[in-house]
Structure 1
């Protein structure tokens, strides 16, 4: 394992804030036998990493670059790792300011929590996107956590999320989606919803 990452391992559980990985441009040092499975489990050399503090430490130096690859980045090293789907899972959500916003006719902002404790407010900086699973053709949702890193909304949470979907208005008229504060994130068109309901 590269020396920089080994040093990070020794500082596991230090409670440090997230480092500025987007500002670091170290040399690429090759790929590391590390993988994040679709269920959020981290593996090193085929073995699950059982220490949550260590996983959080690695996640703190995680970065997805414009080339589509995901890396662990330190000031002196950049190593590639493998991600089956998304590096994080969105496991919980809550709507803030619900009563006050409802009184004004607006939806409160949704806040998502990841499996590693990150909080991502659903807004313009942390958008929500939807896609169809290539294998199951089921709908999947992703929220941007930081940089280009996303969290896959778990299946259980997906049901709660879709239950909050509504028809858009104004520029989003004719679309079905999720409202969060002043933002609207389309899922599909109302015509597609009507077609699906007709197939039931």
Structure 2
């Protein structure tokens, strides 16, 4: 398979990733509880203070993740368990340009294409001025865009009216203001 074929398969995987998810928004379980599970800012999942080493288990948990307001839950048809998330539940560590689209790969192996439905946003720490870039993965769940992926976006960006913008599939996203 050529590298062009590999890149096109990323687009196909991004479409399939979201289609294969369970309908967590439709589930209304009777049992609710809090559990000692936390997702760190770097995307590491912890259970009772210990990192979850099995990548397949983390990937499975990520498919039943739900956000309501500021709270995050693992949800099944029979139970809804509140967990802690330090920042965003996912980290987008890689980005590639494929047919004029930005395709991100997350720490759980899912793919998402930046679009109106999956926007990129950059929050800036008011005290330090440090940017924290995110992409919406699904519904109101975001991935923190990793440093190297963000630098790649900056490299691909173009200046317009004092702002740095990137484009994906005809949608434009602001990465920040350019200093004069």
Q: TM-score, normalised by structure 2?
A: 0.83
Distance in 1 separating the partners of 2:93 and 2:179: 29
**Residue of structure 2 equivalent to 1:14:** none
**Residue of structure 1 equivalent to 2:13:** none
**Structure 1 contact 34–82 (Cα < 8 Å) conserved:** yes
Distance in 1 separating the partners of 2:146 and 2:40: 13
Q: Does structure 1 residue 185 correspond to structure 2 residue 169?
A: no
Q: Does structure 1 residue 149 correspond to structure 2 residue 135?
A: no
Q: Does structure 1 residue 58 correspond to structure 2 residue 61?
A: yes
Deviation, 1:136, is 4.3
Q: Count the aligned residue pairs.
A: 161
Unaligned runs of 5+ in 1: 1-16, 98-107, 196-200
> Greater strand percent: which structure?
2
Distance in 1 separating the partners of 2:106 and 2:127: 24
Task: State the Cα deviation string for residues 87-125 of structure 1 (Å, max 9, x = none).
Answer: 11001111112xxxxxxxxxx111101011111100011
**Residue of structure 2 equivalent to 1:41:** 44
Q: Whose radius of gyration is greater, 1 or 2? A: 1
Distance in 2 separating the partners of 1:152 and 1:130: 10
RMSD: 1.6
Higher normalized contact order (CA 8 Å, seq sep 6+, divided by chain length): 2
Distance in 1 separating the partners of 2:158 and 2:87: 27
Q: TM-score, normalised by structure 1?
A: 0.75
